[in-house]
Amino acid sequence: MNELLQEEYEPPLEQNLSSSELVLTTNSINKQIFSEAELLNSDFDIISESSKYFRNTYFPNVADKKWSSWKWQIQNSYTSFDKLSKILDISSISDDDDFLTNAKKLPLRITPYYASLFEGKPTNYALIKSVVPSKLEFIVSEGEEEDPLHEEKMCPTENLVHRYPDRVLMLSTGFCSVYCRYCTRSRMVTKDQKSYSFKVWEKSLQYIRNTPTIRDIVISGGDPLTLPDKQLEYLLSELRAIPHLEIIRMGTKVPMVLPQRITNNLVNMIKKYHPIFMSVHTTHPDEFTPEVKEACTRIANAGIVMGSQTVLLKGVNDEVSIMKDLMHKALMSRIKPYYIYQCDPIPGSSHFRTPVSKGLEIIQGLRGFTSGYAIPHFVVDAPGGGGKIPLLPEYYQGREGDYVVMKNFEGKIYKYYDPE
């Protein structure tokens, strides 16, 4: 173990937290997680005009320095409908007492920054639907289950998933700065034990050290970028010291929902452990604010390669025009479009799921109508642990003698001479 002392090592935050603070259920009360000095320690200084308006309206006594602190954003997140009612008309969402009572079982956390994107929008606005609980989450449909990918059956240790031959996924924490309503691992944040201790991390590190076929790791969670710099660096340094581990990836939504976390100190630390890749969870083109663009610039300038991961969501981003705009804005922020996921069948997610044909329609609407760099893979993560299965529109039509018959993006048929 390096210089990080075990008593300093308590993810996801720098102090010992109770289970309620880790799970952050809707009835969580505000507790002073960070000291006043910590709230002022930030080098992020971009505040858009819309953020300023929201802050001046709802946090009039908060200075720029605090608003731009990722720790202040976490400290002051919206974690209950009582808080949300101050910024949203939630009557159409929580119009009965039964729902409000049951909603306390649902994890809720929205940073003030991300909530600023809701200003002036109706409650059916795409980003509101993606993070604010709905009574539809209590409707469980056929085929839905808590762990649809059967990750827990593929865990050689408590927080390590070994599904593919040469790569693993490490659950670094159960904490997220914003909880998405459709999250594959929503089961984690509804349980109060999903804060992983040093001992749990060490067991997983030892498994990787002892398994030379592993050449690639995804650090996920929860969100690994909610870990303090010291804890995250400890993990990266231990992983980089493993000779056969070539690639380190991190899965995160932090640049989109908490861009203030992307400090110069953070990216300068991460780049010491190259090659590092980052899968950024993007949902909608409206997420690309000046703050997000600054965060992405810092990440890219540190040599960290970013790829996008987007879940296809009914009524949120299931139109070709929206998805094209999202992919273009990602590219302009130096994020390469990587995956569009069919929404996983977790309990209470049927209102988000589109038919698989919708994903194929979107890919067909992108191919040929924009550059190849802007076209992600459409995949279904097979229920039962089958892994990602890519799906494509039927461009290949078969053979006619010595010719391959193909259909282009306009639906026109072409033949390619290809004698067998």
pLDDT tens digits, one per residue of 266-279: 999 999 999 999 99
185, 214 in Cβ contact below 8 A? Answer: no
What are the C-alpha distances in Å from 328 to residues 104, 282, 307?
Answer: 38, 12, 13
163, 298, 329, 353: the catalytic one is 163
In this structure, are 214 and 348 located in the same domain? yes
Please report the pLDDT score of residue 21 as a whole number. Answer: 31
The set of residues, in sequence order, having a beta carbon less than 8 Å from that of 288 and lying 6+ positions away, is: 329, 330, 332, 333
In this structure, are 84 and 126 located in the same domain? yes
Which of 104, 138, 172 terminates a domain? The answer is 138
Q: Is residue 5 part of a domain?
A: no
185, 187, 194, 249: the catalytic one is 185
344 part of the active site = yes
| Paired strand residues for 42 | none
176, 181, 249, 318: the catalytic one is 176
71, 109, 181, 183: the catalytic one is 183
167 part of the active site = yes
215, 388, 407, 415: the catalytic one is 388
Is the pLDDT at 119 greater than 80? The verdict is yes
9, 196, 296, 344: the catalytic one is 344
Q: Is residue 80 part of a domain?
A: yes
95 part of the active site = no
42, 96 in Cβ contact below 8 A? Answer: no
185 part of the active site = yes
Tally of domains in the chain: 2
Is the pLDDT at 324 greater than 90? The verdict is yes
Q: Is residue 171 part of a domain?
A: yes
In this structure, are 35 and 166 located in the same domain? no
In this structure, are 116 and 205 located in the same domain? no
Q: What whole-number distance in Å separates Cα of residue 303 and Cα of residue 245?
A: 19
In this structure, what are the phi and psi dihedrals at residue 132, rounded to the nearest 5 degrees? -95, 130
Q: Is residue 211 part of a domain?
A: yes
Please report the pLDDT score of residue 289 as a whole number. Answer: 98
Q: Is residue 261 part of a domain?
A: yes
In this structure, are 370 and 321 located in the same domain? yes
Which of 108, 138, 168 terminates a domain? The answer is 138
209 part of the active site = no
In this structure, are 234 and 372 located in the same domain? yes
In this structure, are 328 and 364 located in the same domain? yes
The predicted-structure confidence for 362-397, as pLDDT tens digits, reads as follows 999 999 999 999 999 999 988 888 888 898 988 889
| Paired strand residues for 378 | 340, 391
The predicted-structure confidence for 12-67, as pLDDT tens digits, reads as follows 433 333 333 333 222 333 456 677 777 777 899 999 999 999 999 999 999 999 99
Q: The domain that contains 200 carries what CATH number?
A: 3.20.20.70
296 part of the active site = no
In this structure, are 352 and 227 located in the same domain? yes
In this structure, are 243 and 355 located in the same domain? yes
Q: Is residue 404 part of a domain?
A: no
Residue-range definition of the domain harbouring residue 83: 10-138
167, 194, 261, 324: the catalytic one is 167
129, 155, 223, 381: the catalytic one is 381
367 part of the active site = no
In this structure, are 26 and 68 located in the same domain? yes
Mean pLDDT of 242-255: 98
385: left (phi over 0), alpha (psi -120 to 50) or beta: left
402 part of the active site = no
